[in-house]
Amino acid sequence: MTEHAAFMQQALELAAQALFLSNPNPRVGCVLVAPDGQTIIGQGFTQQAGGPHAEIMALRDAAARGHSTQGATAYVTLEPCSHHGRTGPCCDALIQAGITRVVGAITDPNPQVAGQGFARLRAAGVEVIVGPGGEASRELNIGFFSRMQRGRPWVRLKAASSLDGATALGNGQSQWITGPEARADGHTWRARACAVLTGIGTVLADDPQLNVRAITTPRQPWPVVVDSQLRTPPSAAVLKAGSACHIYTSAIKPAETEALQAQGATVIAKPAANGQVDLAAMLHDLGQRGVNELHVEAGATLNGALLAQGLVDELLLYLAPKLLGQGTRGMAAWGPLEQLDEAIALQLHSVTPIGADLRVLARIQTA
């Protein structure tokens, strides 16, 4: 497998260029190598939904350079698709281009593919090798795998606090606990998500836009609001942030619904037995709508409900090197617990300095 590592690494770097671009499609890169096993003759990555996939971009690149693809090897970070969607099957395009070997990082979890792409290639006499770069490809597409395998997005909960755990001062002031570098980094995580979620409390208190402003991005995530009693004002900034706002409610209020729909919002009723929004049903619905990664920037009440119901996959925490004393504590309101072993166990995925602050990515441990 080591002989394929360098070309697959280049394909993975190409795939990363689709990070803010390809949703809801996976981020995929492709490198074409000549029969000599050394010369790169074409490369590409997945474009916006409805546009060419990585394999097609690489084949076009080879053609533009005047290279023949007969007998070439294709390094692809995800199994070439085998179905007709908004584009044709990539496995057929590789076969028709004379590719004789495909090195794929990992099998596509999409039930419409799920090994059929590799099978079709093998049936056409193409050598198929699967495995190099698989873990990195899955990590890059963690939301796509979640949606395909669990029917719901990968849920990432973001919060910022001081080192002594304060998320705001006692008077409510919280802008800004962290520095500009951490805030820009937070917008990078927003940009890679399909949707950004908050609660009605945050909408009423802060009137956030929930869009990406600190970095350049080719697409904006959907803003999503959990609003059980449909209190979102039609003048809310979240309705004017440049992307379709989705509001989940448990109330049937025709007048309020009509006013919000007039502002371009999509209002979806997902009532739970307790009169709140059924959060699990909301996540399933977002998955049905093509949301891969859901980025949560909410208050303690919604954060706590998501954690208590086991609906969070990882925490994105920014810790500022300061002490705020008797401020607002607790990024998530849930509990209280009776025993320490009832705690939600986390596994540190990465700890990274961002400017003067510290970014901690911690994943919920599952049995």
Residues tagged active-site: 55
Please name every residue paired with 361 in a beta bridge, in sequence order, or none if there are none: 316, 350
Q: Where are the alpha helices (DSSP H) in 141-253?
A: 142-150, 180-192, 200-206
- Please name which of 80, 87, 24 lies closest in space to residue 50, comparing C-alpha atoms: 87
- The alpha-carbon radius of gyration of the chain (Å, integer) is 23
107 close to 130: Cβ distance less than 8 angstroms: yes
Helix (H, G, I), strand (E, B) or coil at 76: strand
Residue 155 CB-density burial (10 A; 0-12 exposed, 13-18 middle, 19+ buried)? buried
Q: For residues 139, 145, 146 and 147, what is the CA-based torsion angle, rounded to 10 degrees?
A: 140
Instruction: Return all residues near 80 (Cβ < 8 A) that are at least 6 apart.
Output: 53, 55, 74, 89, 90, 91, 93, 94, 102, 104, 117, 118, 121
Separation in Å, CA 265 to CA 232, 247, 301, 345: 10, 7, 23, 37
Backbone phi, psi, residue 362, to 5° = -125, 130
Q: Which two tokens stand for residue 187?
A: 């917008």
